Amino acid sequence: MDLLQTWILVGVPGLVIVAGLFVGRSRLRALIGYVVLLALVAVFVTIPGGGLSAAAIGLLGVVFVATGRGTHLDTRYQEHHQSRRSFTTAERG
């Protein structure tokens, strides 16, 4: 299997799965997402000429870690609907 076939059969579906796992702030889904990213890196490292692809996927994992996905920062993050005080935009007087 060459690099293009690997991207079509493994890379694109794998990245779609990873994108779905990192939506929201779940630590368990983020952990599974990191495992899938690691598996993708391992696949592309074994393909001849796939080093640059493996580095790009690994960089995506670094960006997710840098933004705090799946870390202690996710436990302190509140969505806008969790921190609002009322259900209207009108000020209370």
- Full pLDDT tens readout for the chain, 93 residues: 899 999 999 999 999 999 999 887 788 898 999 999 999 999 999 999 999 999 999 999 999 888 877 776 666 666 666 666 666 666 655
Q: What is the pTM of this model?
A: 0.76
Give the closest residue to 55 by CA, choosing from 47, 44, 65.
44
Give the closest residue to 21 by CA, choosing from 35, 6, 42, 38.
35
Query: Is the Cβ–Cβ distance between 44 and 1 less than 8 Å?
Result: no
Structural domain boundaries of the chain?
3-72
SS3 92: coil
